Amino acid sequence: MSRNIHRKFIAVVVSAAVAITALSANSASADERDAARFLAGVAGLVILGAILEDQRRDNKSTGYVSRNRYEPAPRAYRNPNSRLKPRPLPKRVARKILPAECVRDFNSRRGAVRMVGNRCLENNYRYVNRLPNDCYREVRTRRGVRSGYGVRCLRNSGYTFARN
């Protein structure tokens, strides 16, 4: 491909040289032979220009990109007012993430107990029925009996808490 371009370039230079020499000849010695050379040079330039133009059109239609100029790829239009929405987590992952807002410290007779409140989980977590029964607790406080799941037990079972 590059040899064709070099050959065409050389042909342009040679034909230009012929045309210039024909123009620079003395007008006094201009005879029919010089006029014929001049016309041949002009015809050569016209033919060469037509070939190069045809080559350029072919390159545009086939998708050939010239390496002489840098043309950045066109950017896709994105509306600045639209925000990207995060994709939902897969069910197998979403099941293991508990809402952090449900973690509470309850004061019992034995001291502070950290638990995930049962009522909060029922309101904010879809898979309450799949939580391990071993982690379920009931704690007696001044306000009555509170039920929930132990935080440490849930973490040991593979559950994590979402960040606020």
Between CA 155 and CA 94 the distance in angstroms is: 15
Both tokens of 134, joined, read 């071993």
Between CA 131 and CA 163 the distance in angstroms is: 20
pLDDT band per the 50, 70, 90 thresholds, residue 127: confident
The residue that leads in pLDDT, 16 or 47, is 47
What is the Cα gyration radius of the chain? 42
Q: Are 6 and 28 in contact (CB under 8 A)?
A: no
User: Which pLDDT value is given to residue 28?
Assistant: 47
User: Which pLDDT value is given to residue 72?
Assistant: 72
User: Which pLDDT value is given to residue 29?
Assistant: 56
User: Which pLDDT value is given to residue 23?
Assistant: 60
pLDDT in tens, 56-84: 776 666 655 556 666 777 777 767 777 77
User: Which pLDDT value is given to residue 24?
Assistant: 59
User: Which pLDDT value is given to residue 136?
Assistant: 93
What's the mean pLDDT in 145-152?
91
The residue that leads in pLDDT, 24 or 91, is 91
Q: Are 37 and 18 in contact (CB under 8 A)?
A: yes
What's the mean pLDDT in 11-32?
63
The residue that leads in pLDDT, 5 or 89, is 89
pLDDT in tens, 93-107: 767 888 899 998 988
